[in-house]
């Protein structure tokens, strides 16, 4: 018997969708306290959209290129979200910045995963920057989204070593393995506190 009253997720993606897949796998466990209501992509060609459809999960595309302002793009996202039952928005490689106005409409209901140990290395090219700085540790952070990029309250982090000879690619792969553990864990944590 599975759990009733599961946390209903909207997963926002832009590309590959490997974090979405790890959450999907977790949601397939009967006792996992969340389920995916919809996967939304701004990119009609995101590989993750095909994976979601193949798994029978509802998906929506809101192509930012078809909107001449962020407001219009985000209104369309809100319209799509209204069609589905959504408790929590999970940003998983969603490559569009959401406006403070959008974030305020979902207070403490939007989470993001970032491939660094925040507050270090906000923004892009996190692995390259950590290697160039001679750091010995990297990792990932699940945090609440806030008006400022990569800056909301931290929910959890997982660390990995940076090894001699690491390239941004080898380090990214090591961190990604931990992302796939961290995101389901963070969602489970939130489900028990919401």
User: Which residue numbers are catalytic?
Assistant: 114
- Closest CB 1 distance from ligand GRF, rounded Å: 31
Binding flag, residue 179, ligand GRF (CB under 6 A): yes
Among residues 17, 33, 152, 184, the one that binds ligand GRF under rule CB under 6 A: 17
**Residue number with CB closer to ligand GRF (77 or 138):** 138
Euclidean distance between CA atoms 183 and 92, whole angstroms: 9
Among residues 12, 27, 98, 115, the one that binds ligand GRF under rule CB under 6 A: 115
Euclidean distance between CA atoms 88 and 100, whole angstroms: 17
109: closest CA among 93, 89, 92, 91?
Answer: 89
**Residue number with CB closer to ligand GRF (75 or 151):** 151
Binding flag, residue 15, ligand GRF (CB under 6 A): yes
Quick one: which segment of 11-19, 23-31, 128-136, 160-168 binds ligand GRF (CB under 6 A)? 11-19
Quick one: which segment of 8-16, 25-33, 66-74, 77-85 binds ligand GRF (CB under 6 A)? 8-16
Give the torsion through C-alpha atoms of 70, 151, 162, 17, to 10 deg.
-40
- Closest CB 18 distance from ligand GRF, rounded Å: 3
x/- binding map, residues 82-111, to ligand GRF, per CB under 6 A? ----------xx------------------
Binding flag, residue 139, ligand GRF (CB under 6 A): no
- Closest CB 114 distance from ligand GRF, rounded Å: 6
- Closest CB 127 distance from ligand GRF, rounded Å: 9
**Residue number with CB closer to ligand GRF (3 or 149):** 149
């Amino acid at each position: 018997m599975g759990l009733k009253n599961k946390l209903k997720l909207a997963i926002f993606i832009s590309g590959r969708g490997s974090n979405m897949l790890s959450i999907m796998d977790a949601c397939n466990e009967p006792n996992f306290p969340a389920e995916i209501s919809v996967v939304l992509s701004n990119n009609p060609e995101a590989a993750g959209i095909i994976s979601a459809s193949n798994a029978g999960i509802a998906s929506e595309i809101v192509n930012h290129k078809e909107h001449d302002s962020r407001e219009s793009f985000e209104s369309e996202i809100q319209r799509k979200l209204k069609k589905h039952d959504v408790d929590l928005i999970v940003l998983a490689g969603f490559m569009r910045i959401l406006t403070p106005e959008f974030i305020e409409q979902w207070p403490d209901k939007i989470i993001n995963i970032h491939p660094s140990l925040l507050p270090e290395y906000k923004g892009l090219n996190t692995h390259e920057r950590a290697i160039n700085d001679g750091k010995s540790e990297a990792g990932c952070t699940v945090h609440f989204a806030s008006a400022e990029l990569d800056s909301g309250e931290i929910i959890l982090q997982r660390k990995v070593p940076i090894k001699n000879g690491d390239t941004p690619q080898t380090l990214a792969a090591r961190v990604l393995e931990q992302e796939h553990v961290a995101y389901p864990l963070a969602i489970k944590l939130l489900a028990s506190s919401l």
